[in-house]
Amino acid sequence: MALAPTFQLRSGARLPLLGLGTWPLNDDEAAATVERAISAGYRLIDTAENYRNEKGVGEGVRRSGIPREELFITTKFNREHHSVDGVRRAFETSARLLGVDYVDLLLVHWPNAGQGRHVEAVQGIAALMDEGLVRAIGTSNYKPSHLQDVIDAGIVPDVNQIQLDPQRPRIVDRAFHDEHGIVTESWSPLGQGSGLLDEPAVRGHRGSPWDDSRPGGAALARAAGPRRHPEVLASRAPRAEPRRLRLRALGGGRGKPLPAGEPGGRDRRFGRVRPLTGVAGATRACCPPPP
C-alpha cells in the first residue's frame, strides 16, 4: 500500500503531502469515505466545524483501526470563536466530535477581518499549541495584509489555505508565504466552474493538474468512490516538462516559478499546494460561504 510522503512544518509536525478533504459529505458519507481512504493509504484527513461532519470523520477514523498517532487530522473553526477563549471552546467541541485528544492542524476558517479579531483567533490556536492540544497553526483565506498583522503580533502560521488553481496562480500570495516560511494550501484547484477542466492542457489528464503545473506540490483529494483512492495516491509520478508548461500557461504567464529557497529543504519555490478535488472528479470549492 502506497503512503504519501511527508515533510516537516515550522512547528515540527510532519505533514503528509496527499490527503482527503471531506466537504460537503454528511456524517454517514464522511464515515464511510474516511474509512475507505485510510485503508487505501491516506493519512491526512481534513474537515471543519462548518462542514458539520466532524462526528462522521471521527467515526471513519475509529473504523479504520489505524493508530491515532499515524494520522494527521485537520479542522477549522468559525468566526464566532475569534477570541482566545472562543478558540478553546471551538477546539473542545471539535475534539469531542472527532473523538480525539489533540488536533494536528487547527485553522481559522476565514479572517473576517471586519470583526478586528483575526489576529486574536490565531493567538488562540497558539495557546492551544503551547498546551500540546494542537500540533500546528493554520489560517485559511488570509491575505498577505492579514498575515502581516499576525506576524507583527509575533506568530508565523504553519499553513495558509487560499483559492488557487492554474488560472489563478496567486503569485503575490505565494511569494509572501514563501518569504515567511508559510505553507500554501489550495482550495478549488480545478477552477470552481471556470471551465478549467475543458482546457486542452487538462482534458484527459489523470489526477490533479497541480501535479504537473507545480512540481513539488501536494494534493488533498476528496474522492467518495473507493476505487479512486489508490488511483489518486498513485498519481504522483512526474510528468513531462512540456505538459507542465502548458498548464502554467493557463495562468496567463502568472504561473512562473518563484526563485528557489533554502537548499536541501522542502521545495520553497512552490510552498505546499493542497488541491481539493471533487467526488468522482467533480470540481467544488473547499467550503460553504464565509462562516
Residue pointed to by grid coordinates 479579531: 117
DSSP element (H, E) containing 289: none
Q: Are strands 219-221 and 18-21 parallel, antiparallel or unpaired?
A: parallel
Closest CA to 103 of 91, 115, 89, 111: 91
Closest CA to 266 of 65, 9, 3: 9
CA pair distance 110, 49, nearest whole angstrom:
12
CA pair distance 241, 244, nearest whole angstrom:
5
51 classed as catalytic: yes
252, amino acid identity: G
Helix 54-64 to helix 84-98 angle (10° resolution) is: 50
Contacts of 33 (CB under 8 A, 6+ apart): 20, 22, 25, 60, 222, 223, 224
Residues in the chain: 291
Q: Are strands 6-8 and 276-277 parallel, antiparallel or unpaired?
A: unpaired
CA pair distance 265, 243, nearest whole angstrom:
26
Q: What is the chain's Cα-based Rg? A: 18
- Buried b vs exposed e over 213-245: b needs ≥16 C-beta within 10 Å? bbebbbbbbbbbeeebbbebbebbeebeeebbe
Please identify which of the residues 42, 51, 102, 142 carries the catalytic annotation: 51
Catalytic (active-site) positions:
51
